[in-house]
């Protein structure tokens, strides 16, 4: 073992002392950059700015990186408009985010403002309100032990605010959903109310 380490160390010193020693051909920057882009795009869709950052971190020369990005964009492998549309759909469906929060995420990913604006404006107001109501109803299941209504309002509105919803929509949806929840509770006999709470809690598990 010690002999192998000594041999490897000697070879390294020989290479340093003899610059003409053949260490094999240098890596082709274009081939390296192409592999990076293909690997990253295989994982998930990416914005052009994200991919450019990956190339920079791997020290692909700027001129080579720009040529590769332009080529990938020309053949449709990089498409910020499509990426933004997919991101909006995914984040609204999976996280219930409002357009304002999604826009912040897209800008952080380097998507240009006009592309972000077009993608976010495609969200229908009705769909955004429905998403807010779904979030409130889900959150209400964890607030069954909170008796104070103002505390519920504060927590629910705060949750919607963190998801990007404006205060006007947030307060209206929260008030309406709390009123609906109270009507449902008032319309049930005590035994049925307990069964109803148990069913809601089971759905949330």
Q: Are 35 and 113 members of one domain?
A: yes
Q: Are 37 and 116 members of one domain?
A: yes
The last residue of one of the domains, among 121, 155, 173, is 121
The last residue of one of the domains, among 73, 102, 121, is 121
Distance CA 184, CA 37 (A): 54
Nearest to 53 by CA among 117, 7, 108, 132: 108
Q: Are 190 and 157 members of one domain?
A: yes
Q: What is the pLDDT at residue 23?
A: 43
Q: Are 107 and 130 members of one domain?
A: no
The last residue of one of the domains, among 72, 100, 121, is 121
| Residue 96 · residue 134 · CB < 8 Å | yes
Q: Are 87 and 150 members of one domain?
A: no
**Hey, what are 20's tokens?**
């003409």
Write down the mean pLDDT value for the chain.
82
| 31-42 average pLDDT score | 94
| Residue 197 · residue 144 · CB < 8 Å | yes
| pLDDT > 70 in the chain, percent | 76
Q: Please indicate, yes or no, if residue 38 is contained in any of the structural domains.
A: yes
Q: Are 116 and 138 members of one domain?
A: no
Q: Which domain holds residue 178?
A: 125-204
DSSP state of 143: G
| 158-179 average pLDDT score | 94
92-139 pLDDT per residue, tens: 999 999 999 999 999 999 999 999 999 999 999 999 999 999 999 999
For the full predicted model, state whether its pTM sits above 0.75. Answer: no
Number of domains in the chain: 2
54 pLDDT above the threshold of 50: yes
Nearest to 133 by CA among 103, 161, 166, 96: 96
Q: How many CA atoms lie within 13 A of 200 on its CB side?
A: 17
101-111 pLDDT per residue, tens: 999 999 999 99
């Amino acid at each position: 073992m010690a002999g192998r380490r000594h041999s490897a160390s000697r070879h390294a010193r020989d290479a340093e002392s003899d610059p003409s020693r053949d260490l094999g051909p240098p890596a082709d920057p274009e081939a390296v950059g192409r592999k990076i882009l293909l690997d990253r795009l295989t994982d998930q869709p990416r914005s052009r700015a994200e991919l450019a950052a990956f190339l920079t971190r791997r020290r692909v020369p700027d001129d080579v990186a720009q040529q590769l990005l332009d080529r990938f964009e020309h053949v449709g492998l990089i498409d910020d408009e499509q990426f933004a549309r997919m991101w909006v759909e995914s984040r609204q469906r999976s996280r219930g985010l409002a357009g304002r929060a999604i826009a912040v995420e897209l800008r952080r990913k380097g998507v240009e403002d006009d592309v972000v604006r077009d993608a976010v404006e495609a969200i229908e107001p009705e769909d955004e309100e429905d998403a807010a109501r779904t979030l409130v109803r889900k959150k209400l299941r964890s607030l069954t032990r909170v008796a104070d209504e103002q505390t519920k309002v504060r927590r629910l509105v705060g949750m919607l605010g963190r998801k990007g919803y404006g205060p006007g929509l947030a307060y209206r949806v929260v008030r309406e959903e709390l009123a609906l929840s109270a009507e449902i509770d008032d319309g049930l006999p005590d035994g049925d109310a307990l069964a109803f709470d148990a069913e809601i809690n089971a759905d949330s598990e």
